[in-house]
Amino acid sequence: MSRPEGRLGLTRMAAPLAVWALHFVVVYSLQGLACARGLGRTPVAGLEAMSWALWGVTLLALLGIAWSGRAAWRARQAAAPTRPPGDRRQFLPLLTVLVALVAAIGVVFTALPIALLPTCA
């Protein structure tokens, strides 16, 4: 395996965690702006506009993580017949799927305050 492929594999493996980290920063930054400056505090369809924005960011993060995990799973399935079971190039996609699962759990955990608390509680 050449070095660019190895770097790409590790980058793809870390992508779900990067999405999780970005989600964390965006959600808590928007939350802070909403409380400090009063942004998005007007109710829209029963929730504050900022809550809708936070739910949208959470949905985008979960979709990005799911896409990354699915792409890794498809790559693993496509390569399965041609590679031996212990091959590293078959292990990295599986690890990416598991990392995506952990990242999705992290995003859901980060989003729990959005579901359970008002915007500036």
pLDDT digit string, tens, across residues 21-41:
999 999 999 999 888 888 777
Which residue has better confidence, 32 or 3?
A: 32
Place 1 in a pLDDT band, splitting at 50, 70 and 90. very low
- Phi-psi sector, 25: left (phi>0), alpha (psi -120 to 50), beta: alpha
- Is there a domain that residue 41 lies in? yes
Torsion of CA 56, 32, 45, 111, to 10 degrees: 50
Q: What is the pLDDT of residue 85?
A: 65
Q: What total number of domains does the chain contain?
A: 1
- Is there a domain that residue 3 lies in? no
Q: What is the pLDDT of residue 8?
A: 56
- Is there a domain that residue 69 lies in? yes
pLDDT above 80 for 98? yes
Domain boundaries, position 14: 9-116
Q: What is the pLDDT of residue 3?
A: 44
